[in-house]
Structure 1
Amino acid sequence: MRTLIGLGMVLTLAACGTVAPLAPTEGTSLPPAPYGATEKPATDELLELDALAAPERSVELRRRSEERGDDPFDLPPE
């Protein structure tokens, strides 16, 4: 019984994948071109993230301990 339920769940999840590129639904269109642009951006271009929206992660390890600077906003609770 459990295997049938598990198999049903796997098949249901497998059916959720997209097989076609994204496109606007019927009766709607893509957003207008940004101010100053001559062409409307394509669907793939609209899905790309800006560098500011998804910044690179900095994984800088500290090699020795350092004193913390004074933080004027680190106040005790009132």
Structure 2
Amino acid sequence: MNRAAIAALGAFVLLAGCGKRPVLRPADGKALPPKALTASAQPGVAALLSLPAQAKPTRDDELVIKSQPLAPDRFDLPPPG
């Protein structure tokens, strides 16, 4: 085998090891965080690891349909002196 084939094989082996993830659970002797007072149920591991919508907002692709100049603003004055 040549060096390029050995390097490619090594890269594939290292890359294959990256995809294996164990199931997440609390450490031995530890418990999940306590339930919030206002929560109706104790969230599980998957619920605690998922991002809320505020942490990762969706993209807003609102297109400008009518481009209009801004109306004059009487309070937009230059700084004094």
Q: TM-score range by the shorter chain?
A: 0.5 to 0.7
The percentage of aligned residue pairs carrying the same residue is 36
- Which contiguous aligned blocks of 4+ residues in structure 1 show a shift greater than 4 angstroms? none
- Secondary structure of the residue aligned to 1:3 is helix
- Higher Cα Rg: structure 1 or 2? 2
In 1, Cα distance between the equivalents of 2:30 and 2:43?
A: 15
RMSD between aligned residues: 2.6
Q: Aligned residues, how many?
A: 71
Match of 2:48 among 46, 49, 72: 46
Structure 1: tracts of 5 or more residues without a match = 71-78
Tell me, in whole angstroms, the C-alpha distance in 2 between the residues paired with 1:15 and 1:9.
10
TM-score normalised to structure 1 length: 0.64
AA matched with 1:54: K
Mapping 1:1-78, distance limit 5 Å: 1-37=3-39, 39-67=41-69
Q: Which structure 2 residue ranges, 5 or more long, are not aligned?
A: 74-81
Separation of aligned partners in 1, 2:26 and 2:19? 18
